[in-house]
Amino acid sequence: SQQGEEDPQALSIQEGENATMNCSYKTSINNLQWYRQNSGRGLVHLILIRSNEREKHSGRLRVTLDTSKKSSSLLITASRAADTASYFCATERPHLTSGTYKYIFGTGTRLKVLA
Amino acid sequence: DVKVTQSSRYLVKRTGEKVFLECVQDMDHENMFWYRQDPGLGLRLIYFSYDVKMKEKGDIPEGYSVSREKKERFSLILESASTNQTSMYLCASSPPEGVAYEQYFGPGTRLTVT
């Protein structure tokens, strides 16, 4: 089952506007990551936020984490046509038999930025 | 820059064929992963490996096997391809936990089974 669920499934905005997408998860986490995927390509890591952090910035990206609500949001400010992509959140889950971790991805938000 | 490469971008195979998908990373990462991506289902973990010759089942291992004989290479094997294995397959690698958690992805292989 998917740990993370993104909302909305699809978002269409005008260039220059801000885009906000949300991720909810079910179990406690050590960190949460956001990835971007351009059409038909692999995923690219954007930002990681740890469970003891509430907010993190990277360029035009702002990520918040609310562990009490088990949710995170990704804000892209002053969006550009090049931001058109799918965005995924990912959380880690301990793999009990190996002692390592596996990553659980949500179903993604498809963002379209219109020029 | 970390580079993860996959042997093919597009692949068409017939039902019942044995299919090999190869993934190579050049950053000496311990962990490697195979996912499949389907519309509306996101990425689902098939298998992962945290060391040479070590493998662990992910969430959907049925119909797949893997091989990791060398640290840089992680192969996904479809023993007898079926049409429901038509999908985008993504390989990823990452350093061991505690160092970093970021996963580096390859460009993906779009497999069609007819």
Please judge whether A43 and B40 are an interchain contact, meaning their C-beta atoms are less than 8 angstroms apart: no
Query: Residue B46's closest chain A neighbor by CA?
Result: A102
What percent of chain A has a predicted confidence (pLDDT) above 90? 67
Computed over every residue of chain A, the mean pLDDT equals 90
Name the one residue in this structure whose structure tokens are 């023993």: B79
Exposed e or buried b per residue across B57-75, where buried means at least 16 C-beta atoms within 10 angstroms of its C-beta: bbeeeeebebbbeebbebb
Please judge whether B108 and A104 are an interchain contact, meaning their C-beta atoms are less than 8 angstroms apart: no
Chain B residue numbers with beta carbons less than 8 Å from the beta carbon of A88 are 42-43
Which of B56, B90, B106 shows the shortest C-beta gap to A95? B56
What percent of chain B has a predicted confidence (pLDDT) above 70? 95
Q: Tally the C-alpha atoms within 13 A of residue A87's C-alpha that lie toward its C-beta.
A: 28
Chain A residue numbers with beta carbons less than 8 Å from the beta carbon of B54 are 98
Q: How far apart are CA A57 and CA A93, in angstroms?
A: 24
Least Cα separation, residue B70 to chain A (angstroms): 19
Confidence of residue A76 (pLDDT cuts 50, 70, 90): very high
Beta strands B87-94 and B31-38 are: antiparallel
A34, A47, A102, A109: which to substitute to probe chain B, counting the most B Cβ within 10 Å? A102
Interface of B with A (CB under 8 A): 4, 31, 33, 35, 40-45, 48, 50, 54, 56, 58-59, 88, 90, 92, 96-97, 101-108, 110
User: Which range among A25-39, A43-57, A78-92 shows the weakest confidence by mean pLDDT?
Assistant: A25-39
Query: Residue A34's closest chain B neighbor by CA?
Result: B102
Chain A residue numbers with beta carbons less than 8 Å from the beta carbon of B33 are 102-103
pLDDT, residue B98, reads 59
pLDDT in tens, B45-82: 999 998 898 999 999 999 999 999 999 999 999 999 99
pLDDT, residue B23, reads 98
